[in-house]
């Protein structure tokens, strides 16, 4: 029974992973409201770009008057 608990303890320790500095930086970037606001502005600018590049819709009309 004692061996089972030792095995269980070792398995539990191995399943825990230490977080690295990169993990903490990623969490900080994801939760920083200033960075999230700038990312939202960037995404909005990307969506505006195709609208600016689009050709304007041309409307033309032809009028014909019959003169006698």
Inform me whether the pLDDT recorded for 63 exceeds 80.
no
Q: What is the DSSP letter of 20?
A: -
**What distances in angstroms separate CA 29 from CA 23, 34, 42, one per listed residue?**
10, 9, 15
In angstroms, the CA 60 to CA 49 distance is 26
pTM exceeding 0.85 = no
- Would 37 be classed as within a structural domain? yes
Residue 29 lies in a domain: yes
Query: Mean pLDDT across the chain, nearest whole number?
Result: 77
Q: Is residue 22 part of a domain?
A: yes
Residue-level pLDDT at 6: 76
Residue 45 lies in a domain: yes
Give the count of domains, the chain.
1
Residue 55 in any domain: the answer is no
Q: First vs last Cα of the chain: how many Å apart? A: 114
- Residue 64 confidence (pLDDT): 67
Does 11 reside within a domain?
no
* 40 domain-assigned: yes
Please give the Cα distance from 32 to 55 (Å, whole number): 38
């Amino acid at each position: 029974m004692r061996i089972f608990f030792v095995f269980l303890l070792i398995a539990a320790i191995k399943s825990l992973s230490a977080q690295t500095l990169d993990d903490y930086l990623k969490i900080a970037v994801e939760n920083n409201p200033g960075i999230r606001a700038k990312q939202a502005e960037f995404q909005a600018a990307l969506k505006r770009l195709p609208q600016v590049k689009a050709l304007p819709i041309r409307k033309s009309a032809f009028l014909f008057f019959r003169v006698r």
